[in-house]
Amino acid sequence: MNDKLALPVGTTLDRFIMRKQEDFPFATGELSQLLRDIALAAKIVNREINRAGLIDVTGAYGQQNVQGEEQQKLDVIANIRFIRALRNGGEVCTIISEEEDEIIHTGNNKGRYIVAIDPLDGSSNIDVNVSIGTIFSIYRRLSESGEEGTMEDCLQNGTHQIAAGYIVYGSSTMLVYTTGHGVNGFTYEPSLGEFFLSHPNMTTPKTGTIYSCNEGGYNSFPEGIKNYLSFCKESGYSGRYIGSLVADFHRNLIKGGVYIYPATAKSPKGKLRLLYECNSLAFIAEQAGGKASDGTGRIMEIEPTELHQRSSLVIGSAEMVDKVEEFMKASVKAADTVTAN
Ligand code: AHG
Ligand code: MN
Ligand code: MN
């Protein structure tokens, strides 16, 4: 038999999830099912995105979300798709979504999991054929099963995540996730309708030469960030900024780099949301050997007090994140000295 005529297609996401489950003797399979539910919704959203120019799904939906942001039609579609998949799956009792003011009770009160999700990340890039994404985190509920999930279940800090991931709808569509045992990436094969393992055991370089930051807000950045950006320029680093967090993060994860979204005059606490943007990617970054900070400390240790809480975010290669923190510390020290004088 000449095997070279028909090379194997590789490991599907489903098979990979199943194999991983077998590594845990007491696993019930619920988390595996939940990850499969997310993958199914991702395939559907991917289809909608790919047809975006052909059917009437681009443009504004005509409403704002709780954060005062203009919702795009695809934001709303992705939100419906993911919530429906999670509700139908039955493992999730409660969902936190960027597009919904309040927590969503799925009616599956026996479900043991909480999901926080940004159904579509990078809204401003939808209509212009630039990469967009989905970001999610999974937590185990703290409250007794049998009742609706509680606010306390939803406001757990990032160290309690049991899984997190993202989908990047780009030049190819990829799903990347972690359950706390490393990071694995899968590429979508549209003709077969399956995600295949393409990036096993992803690790991020310790350092890099890419910095990603919307410097439009520069004038109101904290001094430490301004100084770090000067350092990047003096060092000859490349500036790369797509404006879709998922896509910027994904590139830097593979190539090495740092993504920075600091506090600005417009967003004094930072723009990105702690529960379904910062924590999710922080878990992946750490599992890949990188770091995530708010400029002063570890993202995943921030105690959330609100569903749609915002945070500054510095994420990527470990040595670069450390460097940003050093610059932040130095600028605070310098400011203290001036005040003391
Ligand atoms: P979302 O589309 O989910 O609201 O997220 C947008 C976020 C993030 O994807 C991106 O990195 C950032 O906003 C871009 O903000 P600026 O336009 O201020 O650079
Ligand atoms: Mn987002
Ligand atoms: Mn979004």
* Residue 107's CATH number: 3.30.540.10
**pLDDT value, residue 63:** 82
107: containing domain: 8-199
Structure confidence at residue 55 (pLDDT)? 73
Ligand nearest to the CA of 313: 1
Give the C-alpha separation, 84 to 42, whole Å: 12
Torsion angle (degrees, nearest 10) of CA 16, 20, 21, 26: 170
> Could you give the CA distance from residue 341 to residue 336 in angstroms, rounded to a whole number?
9
Inter-residue contact 259 to 294 (CB < 8 Å): no
Could you please report the per-residue DSSP string of 260-313? EE---SSSTT-SEEIIIIIHHHHHHHHHTT-EEESSSSBGGG----STT-EE-E
| 119 CA to centre of ligand 1 in angstroms | 13
Domain stops at, among 154, 170, 199: 199
What's the confidence (pLDDT) of residue 26?
65
Ligand sitting nearest the alpha carbon of 245: 1
DSSP 3-state of 145: strand
Q: For every one of its 341 residues, what pLDDT tens digit does the chain have, with 9 covering 90 and above?
A: 677 888 888 999 999 999 988 777 667 789 999 999 999 999 999 999 998 777 777 778 788 887 778 888 899 999 999 999 999 999 999 999 999 999 999 999 999 999 999 999 998 998 899 999 999 999 999 999 999 999 999 999 999 999 999 999 999 999 999 999 999 999 999 999 999 999 999 999 999 999 999 999 999 999 999 999 999 999 999 999 999 999 999 999 999 999 999 999 999 999 999 999 999 999 999 999 999 999 999 999 999 999 999 999 999 999 999 999 999 999 988 877 777 66
142 and 184 assigned to the same domain: yes
Atom 7 of ligand 1 has which residue's CA nearest to it?
122
Residues 165-190: b if buried by 16+ CB within 10 A, e if exposed: bbbbbbeebbbbbbbeeebbbbbbbe
pLDDT at res. 330? 96
The answer as to whether 2 is a domain residue is: no
Distance 12 CA to ligand 1 centre (A): 31
pLDDT tens column, 190-248 = 999 999 999 999 999 999 999 999 999 999 999 999 999 999 999 999 999 999 999 99
Same domain assignment for residues 243 and 224: yes
DSSP single-letter state for residue 191: T
Residue 209 pLDDT: 98
pLDDT score of 54:
77
Say how far apart CA 284 and CA 293 lie, in whole Å. 13
Residue 56 annotated as binding site = no
pLDDT at res. 335: 79
User: What pLDDT, on the 0 to 100 scale, is given for residue 22?
Assistant: 79
Q: What pLDDT score was predicted for residue 66?
A: 78
Q: Is residue 75 part of a domain?
A: yes
Q: What pLDDT sits at residue 62?
A: 81
Domain count, the chain: 2
Ligand nearest, relative to CA of residue 126: 1
CB of 118 within 6 A of ligand 1: the answer is yes
Assess whether 183 and 288 both reside in one domain: no
Distance 119 CA to ligand 3 centre (A): 6
Question: Does residue 204 lie in a domain region?
Answer: no
Is the shortest distance between the CB of 109 and ligand 1 below 6 Å? no
Question: Does the Cβ of 215 fall within 6 Å of ligand 1?
Answer: no
Residue 271 near ligand 1, beta carbon < 6 Å:
yes
Residue 121 beta carbon below 6 angstroms from any ligand 1 atom: yes
233 belongs to a structural domain: yes
- On whether both 32 and 74 belong to a single domain, the answer is yes
